[in-house]
A = this chain, B = another copy of it.
């Protein structure tokens, strides 16, 4: 450890642990596994790249779990592989730009949830029916409303994903609000 291995450091370590815990809890209430969120948090607050081994140790999780979680985070685009010449071991760094992080999360969830749902809704709405039947009309109206909502959400999310840093933090925050 550095020469600054004093009270401050201990507090910092604790704060990071708390952050990792917080991220884990938040993650699980959004339908993401606790470990996934925690590995992400750990890498977010790590100054340098960590190996699978490091992750296992710091979060006391198994090798298999660490491996699969890291793979999934790579897939979301939330972390990057860092290869060191002459070393076989792989290291991982988190994307630290929160705008990018947001984009990755929106992109992944949109693909997995919204796009999938839109397809199902289209299929259901295509169902033929007797327009004279009030029950059919009501059902169809509900479907159409939900489709409409899905389209608006899609557009909003797409817009947010394309947002430039300046637009996002300035224009958006100041003009739009």
Contacts and interface: CB of A to CB of B under 8 A. Distances in A.
Nearest to A94: B142
Contact of A113 (B29, B45, B149): B29
Interface residues of A, number: 53
Contacts of A152: 168-169, 172-173
Contacts of A142: 44-45, 96, 98
A80 B133 CA distance: 25
A126 to B, nearest CB: 10
Interface stretch (A4-12, A58-66, A69-77, A81-89): A4-12
Given A15-B127, A142-B96, A168-B152, A8 B136 contact: yes
A143 to B, nearest CB: 7
How many protomers of this protein does the assembly include?
2
Interface in A26-77: 26, 28-31, 44-45, 47
B176 A139 contact: no
B136 A12 contact: yes
A164 interface: no
A49 B145 CA distance: 20
A135 B148 CA distance: 47
Given A29-B112, A152-B168, 5 more contacts: A12-B127, A12-B129, A15-B127, A155-B173, A155-B177
